[in-house]
Structure 1
Amino acid sequence: MNLLELPALLVLDVQKGFDDPYWGKRNNLEAEDNIARLLTEWRNRHGEVIYTKHLSLDPGSPLHHRNPLGTELKEVIKPVEGEVIFTKNVNSGFIGTELESYLKRKQVKSVVITGLSTQHCVSTTTRMSGNLGFDTYLVSDAIAAFEITDHKGVKHTAESIQEHELAMLQKEFATIVTTDNLIKQLVQQ
């Protein structure tokens, strides 16, 4: 990985509603701490930090738009003044928001994606980012997946969901990196 200029850091949907048992078991409990580490690096370098917040239209979701506690961003990654938040009610951070035009207006060519959850908003936003022509990096230890039961009634672990999503996103849509590797690359520049 060779980062010529500091990419925009995207923090997707790191909301309190994801702590609800509604979602099932989760992997990578260190994701928020790794996102916080990346936030520190970006803020120290005066980099572009962008958040998305999911406001679900499903009344049964802990992220329902009328649930202010569930939709609130977690304390560990709280935005500071000047950091932008785009709200959405679909999986992609690009649909129904000004994210794409904002990035183009700021002349951002590459993005680093973090957040929740891997199989939903992270995967969808990563795919669209790559398709829209952004040089996209996905931080494998700054995202987390949840277990899921498929159409046949088979339960898949959060870890297997994470690994499969990363395998599908690698090369086609993004370069998969780790927090340590990314920070090391930034320090060497």
Structure 2
Amino acid sequence: MELEKNAALIIIDQQKGILHPRLGRRNNPRAEDRMLELLAHWRRSGRPIIHVQHLSRSQDSVFWPQQSGVEFQERFQPLPGEQLIQKQVPDAFCSTGLEARLRESGIEQLIIVGVATHNSVESTARTAGNLGFDAWVVEDACFTFDKPDFFGKARSAEDVHGMSLGNLHGEYATVVSTAQILMAD
């Protein structure tokens, strides 16, 4: 496992709304610490950083553009020179120009972190893999929430997270930890 010199860090939906209590119980309480660790490492190394912001089409969403939940959390505020991708669906590639930007920059390796594991992280990683990118999902720098399955059975955030990572690993992406990423550099 080797980290490319131009590997892009993709930070998904680190907006104020994701902290709203109505979203329920979550896993990985230290996920933001891991994301910030990776963000600091990327900034020091000068590698590309892409911040993904969700602008929901649904007025009842925590990411509805007409309220403060859509704004980036202060600790994840993009700096000058860092890229911003705005999306309206979970997949950061859908109608955003992300693929073209990556191809134009010669970026093939993507390190994906953020929220929610089973939603925007998984859909973005699936597309990245399908498009032929070398996608890595950092399991301890993502989190999700308790969620019932299709049959109505309550599933813990840990179960939802684990299943989502299981869906991705080996087929669409490689699932790794923050420590593995930092050691690969």
TM-score category (smaller protein): over 0.9
Quote the offset at 1:148 in angstroms. 0.8
1:157-176 → structure 2 map (5 Å cutoff): 157-176=156-175
SS of equivalent residue, structure 1 residue 64: coil
Gaps of 5+ in 1: none
Quote the offset at 1:161 in angstroms. 0.4
Q: Distance in 2 between matches of 1:105 and 1:150?
A: 40
- Which residue of 2 is the match for residue 97 of structure 1? 96
Question: Residue deviations 1:88-139, cap 9 Å, x none?
Answer: 1101000010111000010101100001100110000000000011001110
Q: Distance in 2 between matches of 1:65 and 1:72?
A: 8
Q: Distance in 1 between matches of 2:138 and 2:119?
A: 15
Q: Distance in 2 between matches of 1:125 and 1:169?
A: 10
- Which residue of 1 is the match for residue 66 of structure 2? 66
Quote the offset at 1:2 in angstroms. 2.1
- Which residue of 2 is the match for residue 144 of structure 1? 143
Contact 1:22 1:62 survives alignment (8 Å): no
- Which residue of 2 is the match for residue 135 of structure 1? 134
Q: Distance in 1 between matches of 2:72 and 2:33?
A: 14
Task: Give the superposed CA RMSD.
Answer: 1.0
- Which residue of 1 is the match for residue 182 of structure 2? 183
Gaps of 5+ in 2: none
SS of equivalent residue, structure 1 residue 9: strand
Task: State which drifts further: 109-118 or 72-81.
Answer: 72-81
The alignment's TM-score, normalised by the length of structure 1, stands at: 0.95
The residue type equivalent to 2:31 in the other structure is A
SS of equivalent residue, structure 1 residue 70: helix
The alignment's TM-score, normalised by the length of structure 2, stands at: 0.96
- Which residue of 2 is the match for residue 33 of structure 1? 33
Matched, 1:24 2:24: yes
SS of equivalent residue, structure 1 residue 87: strand
Q: Distance in 2 between matches of 1:102 and 1:44?
A: 22
Q: Distance in 1 between matches of 2:170 and 2:20?
A: 33
Question: Residue deviations 1:4-32, cap 9 Å, x none?
Answer: 43410000111110111221111011111
Q: Distance in 2 between matches of 1:119 and 1:34?
A: 18
Identity of aligned residues (%): 35
Aligned length: 185
SS of equivalent residue, structure 1 residue 22: helix
